[in-house]
């Protein structure tokens, strides 16, 4: 009887394993069979939104289904990111998060989600350097002159950001800390919201993503001063880095990456990841991104997770050393 039970158990166990494997393969082969929602936790017109629309258009063509970009701005990216965390882990709700994903944990006493545990990292998509820009009426042409002017007028200049605690906020706070200048902060509801006021002089400076302002710089509407990455961007090779301009060691390079809620099946993660890597290598996507000062990256889910963890530690140090805090 015992031998019979053991033999029967082994047969049922093998049948179960085969069923699970077959089910996963069938699930992977049928995915996707309806539209996918890509949540962007910032307003339309910002760098994250621009990257999302370029990449999602190509992914839609590759996957054969519509990818709907859903802008859910608020609380420095927390509102939209929380929507992703609490969505069904079926691959039909994804998010394109930015460096804010690793920043918010150090700025808020509590978050409605766990920055690491409540998400499935899929791939880093692009590096997105910021750029210090000013109104044309501000009498500066380089970073040294900007800093000198700010020192001569403490707390008289105003800069805008995409919101408290966003990379556009912390990049300027890092600049203020290193250069020892005082400039008033005006938080907006997204990068797209601050640009009109920058154009008309309501604020005199900002450090938005280079992607969101490169066209305005090229058309002569605003002035590009310096980029936040450690190397220049190919989209604006004549604009120096902060470090080149005198702020040695300054590095506030941002990134955008694709995530899903926790426990997305590995077969779905592999499918999405593979399609992202293919999309980033096409000229249709890479040329558009590079022209907008967005550097295509693409990496493994494991590498992306490591990046998120490292960025949490990095921004925690910067926040503490700069004294940046929510208003």
Distance (Å) of CA 132 to CA 50, 80, 125, 237: 19, 26, 23, 14
Answer whether 279's CB lies under 8 Å from 58's CB.
yes
Cβ neighbours of residue 5 closer than 8 Å, sequence gap 6 or more: none
Q: Which tens digits make up the pLDDT trace of 12-28?
A: 555 555 544 444 445 55
Fold of 131-227: D-Maltodextrin-Binding Protein; domain 2 (3.40.190)
Name the residue among 40, 27, 68 with its Cα closest to residue 258: 40
In this structure, CATH architecture of domain 28-128+255-322 = 3-Layer(aba) Sandwich (3.40)
- What is residue 3's DSSP assignment? H
Q: How far apart are CA 38 and CA 8, in angstroms?
A: 46
Torsion angle of the four alpha carbons 289, 293, 299, 303, in this order, in degrees rounded to the nearest 10: -150
Separation in Å, CA 275 to CA 193, 268, 299: 32, 11, 12
Q: Which tokens in the block code for residue 93?
A: 């709700």
Task: Please state the separation of Cα 318 from the chain's center in Å.
Answer: 18
- Tell me if 28-128+255-322 shares its fold with 131-227: yes
Instruction: Show Cβ contacts of residue 216 under 8 Å, excluding neighbours closer than 6 positions.
Output: 133, 195, 199, 222
Q: Which two tokens stand for residue 180?
A: 């020892």
User: What is the pLDDT of the chain when averaged over all its residues?
Assistant: 90
The DSSP line for 33-47 is SS-EEEEESS-TTSH
Q: What pLDDT is stored for residue 9 in this prediction?
A: 55
> In this structure, are residues 137 and 291 in contact, taking their beta carbons and an 8 Å threshold?
no
Measured distance CA(80)–CA(74) in Å, rounded: 7
Note the pLDDT of residue 283.
Answer: 96
Give the start-end residues of each E strand in 90-245. 93-98, 119-128, 131-134, 158-161, 184-187, 205-206, 223-227
Q: What is the pLDDT of residue 55?
A: 98
Condensed to tens digits (0 to 9), the pLDDT of residues 173-211 reads 999 989 999 999 999 987 788 999 999 999 999 999 898
Give the Cα separation of 2 and 206 in Å (integer): 76
Domain residue extents for the chain: 28-128+255-322, 131-227
| Positions of the chain with pLDDT lower than 50, given as ranges | 3, 19-25
Structural contact between residues 297 and 280, judged by C-beta atoms closer than 8 angstroms: yes
């Amino acid at each position: 009887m015992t031998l019979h039970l053991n033999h029967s158990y082994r047969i049922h166990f093998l049948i179960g394993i085969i069923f699970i494997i077959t089910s996963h393969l069938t699930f992977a082969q049928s995915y996707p069979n309806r539209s996918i929602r890509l949540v962007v936790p910032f307003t339309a017109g910002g760098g994250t939104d621009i990257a999302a629309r370029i990449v999602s258009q190509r992914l839609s063509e590759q996957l054969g289904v519509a990818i709907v970009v859903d802008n859910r701005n608020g609380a420095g990216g927390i509102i939209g990111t929380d929507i992703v965390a609490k969505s069904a882990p079926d691959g039909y709700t994804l998010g394109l998060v930015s460096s804010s994903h690793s920043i918010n944990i150090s700025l808020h006493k509590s978050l409605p989600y766990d920055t690491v545990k409540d998400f499935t990292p899929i791939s880093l998509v692009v590096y997105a350097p910021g750029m210090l820009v000013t109104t044309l009426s501000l009498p500066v042409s380089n970073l040294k002159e900007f800093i000198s002017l700010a020192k001569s007028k403490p707390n008289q200049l105003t800069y805008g950001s995409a919101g408290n605690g966003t990379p556009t906020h912390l990049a300027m706070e890092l600049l203020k800390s290193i250069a020892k200048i005082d400039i008033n902060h005006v938080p907006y509801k997204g990068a797209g919201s601050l640009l009109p006021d920058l154009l008309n002089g309501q604020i005199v400076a900002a450090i938005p993503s280079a992607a969101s302002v490169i066209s305005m710089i090229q058309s002569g509407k605003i002035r590009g001063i310096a980029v936040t990455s450690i190397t220049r961007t190919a989209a604006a090779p004549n604009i120096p880095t902060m470090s080149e301009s005198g702020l040695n060691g300054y590095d506030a390079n941002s990134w955008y990456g694709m995530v899903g809620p926790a426990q997305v099946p590995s077969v779905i993660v592999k499918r999405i990841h593979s399609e992202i890597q293919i999309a980033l290598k096409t000229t249709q996507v890479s040329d558009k991104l590079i022209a907008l000062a967005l550097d295509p990256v693409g990496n493994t889910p494991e590498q992306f997770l490591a990046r998120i963890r490292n960025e949490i530690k990095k921004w925690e140090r910067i926040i503490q050393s700069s004294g940046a805090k929510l208003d």
